[in-house]
Amino acid sequence: MQIRELSIPDSYEITPKQFGDDRGVFLEWGRFDRLEESIGHKLNVVQANTSVSKRGSVRGIHFADIPPSQAKYVTATYGAVLDYIIDIRVGS
């Protein structure tokens, strides 16, 4: 898995390595030990959600005050997704 920090601090692009054969594709979608190495602290996952959207759908903006904060992990298992990261922190 490749983890790349984006231009907005504390935002990352995570690209899993995919292994394909005649049966289909296998990939690790979560390696929290590798993520911890990249971000410098443990990611304490207490809730995980999945939404399935129709083409052209727009979902809401997510915001969490610190503490306790909140991370957002976006993935597309089929098709594509356009996700915007907006840094609203003071001084950004």
Whole-model pTM: value is 0.70
Q: How confident is the model at residue 85 (pLDDT cuts 50, 70, 90)?
A: confident
Residue 50, pLDDT score: 83
Number of CB atoms found within 10 A of residue 24's CB: 7
Is residue 68's pLDDT more than 70? no
Average pLDDT, the chain: 85
- Torsions phi, psi of 37, nearest 5? -60, -40
Report yes or no: 12 and 3 within 8 Å, Cβ to Cβ: yes
pLDDT at 26: 94
Residue 62 has pLDDT above 80, yes or no: no
Collapsed DSSP state (helix, strand, coil) of residue 62: coil
- Range of lowest pLDDT (4-8, 23-27, 79-83): 79-83
What's residue 65's pLDDT? 74
